[in-house]
């Protein structure tokens, strides 16, 4: 399985899980972790910035048009594309410490929520007013960090399995938590 196919599968799975399960859960504070953003960040950290930004753009576009969405098309595409690129830039550093990937995911998730709210308020979206945003963004970043180990773990597991299938002779070719191009 190539990386591209893998990325498509991960994004579609995250998107469907997000709209059918996660968004309907009753979490305290009624804020939900953004699984698609987490998947984009994780894929970018594994695959580097080029694949990261392309993944981000198409994941965002899919989020923009998935049925219950009701905002200006292109907002998520813009935000996820930027986040994918920036997180991809950090990909080579990921081998240094086992904690680093999770810090990067947390930073990426926070930046993503803030950026989305910012684009919304620039477009005059009534949903992105300050009282709502100031309540939602910190909570959402917190939930993202809580949910990130699971998403990162799933993405890693899929990637290493794909790598192992490609060269079945050797041991796991990925030395650290992440392997960057």
Partner 1 sequence: MNDTRRTRAVLGVLLLASLAMITVDYRGGDHSPLRGLRGFGEVIFGPIEHAATAVVRPVVGAFDTVTGSPGARRRINRLEKENQRLRQQLRTGQIDKRRADELDRLLGTAGLGGYRIVPAQVISAGEGLEDTVSIDVGSGNGIKPDMTVLTGDGLVGRVTRVGPSTSTVLLATDAASSVGGRLESSNEIGIVQGAGRRSGKALKFQLLDSTAPVRPGQRIVSFGSQGDRPYVPGVPIGTVATIERTPGSLTRTAVVRPFVHFTGLDVVGVVVTAPKRNPRDAVLPPAPSTPPPSVPPTPPPSPPPSAPASPKSTPAPRTTPRG
Q: How far is the CB of 30 from partner 1 (least distance, A)?
A: 5
- At closest approach, how far in Å is the CB of 108 from partner 1? 16
- If the CB atoms of residues 49 and 164 are measured against partner 1, the closer one turns out to be 49
Sequence length of the chain is 181
Query: From the CB of 13, what's the least distance to partner 1, in Å?
Result: 10
61, 86 in Cβ contact below 8 A?
A: no
Give the shortest CB-14-to-partner 1 separation in angstroms. 11
- Contacting residues for 99 by C-beta, under 8 A, at least 6 apart: none
Check: CB of residue 163 under 8 Å from CB of residue 174: yes
Taking the complex as a whole, the smallest distance from the CB of residue 150 to partner 1 amounts, in Å, to: 15
Judged by CB, which is closer to partner 1: 85, or 177?
85
Q: Which tokens hold the place of 23?
A: 């968004």
C-alpha 39/C-alpha 44 separation (Å) is 8
Max intra-chain CA distance, the chain: 57
Residue ranges in contact with partner 1 by CB under 8 A: 12, 15-21, 23-31, 34, 36, 48-50, 53-54, 57, 60-78, 81-82, 85, 88-89, 91-92, 116-117, 119-120, 123, 125-129, 131-133, 135-136, 180-181
Which residue reads 């990925």 in tokens? 174
Given a contact cutoff of 8 angstroms between Cβ atoms, the answer to whether 92 and 69 are in contact is: no
CB distance 152 to 42 below 8 Å: yes
What is the spatial distance between Cα 10 and Cα 40, in angstroms, rounded to a whole number? 9
């Amino acid at each position: 399985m190539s990386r591209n196919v893998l990325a498509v599968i991960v994004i579609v799975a995250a998107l469907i899980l997000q709209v059918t399960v996660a968004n309907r859960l009753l979490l305290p504070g009624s804020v939900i972790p953004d699984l698609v953003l987490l998947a984009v960040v994780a894929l970018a950290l594994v695959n580097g910035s080029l694949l990261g930004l392309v993944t981000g753009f198409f994941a965002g576009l899919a989020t923009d048009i998935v049925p219950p969405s009701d905002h200006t098309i292109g907002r998520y595409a813009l935000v996820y594309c930027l986040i994918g690129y920036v997180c991809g830039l950090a990909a080579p550093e990921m081998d240094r410490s086992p904690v680093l990937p999770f810090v990067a995911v947390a930073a990426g998730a926070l930046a993503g929520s803030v950026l989305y709210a910012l684009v919304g308020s620039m477009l005059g979206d009534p949903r992105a007013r300050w009282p709502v945003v100031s309540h939602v963004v910190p909570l959402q970043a917190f939930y993202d960090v809580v949910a990130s180990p699971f998403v990162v773990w799933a993405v890693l597991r899929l990637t290493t399995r794909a790598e192992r299938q490609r060269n079945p002779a050797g041991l796991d070719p990925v030395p650290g938590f992440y392997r960057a191009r």
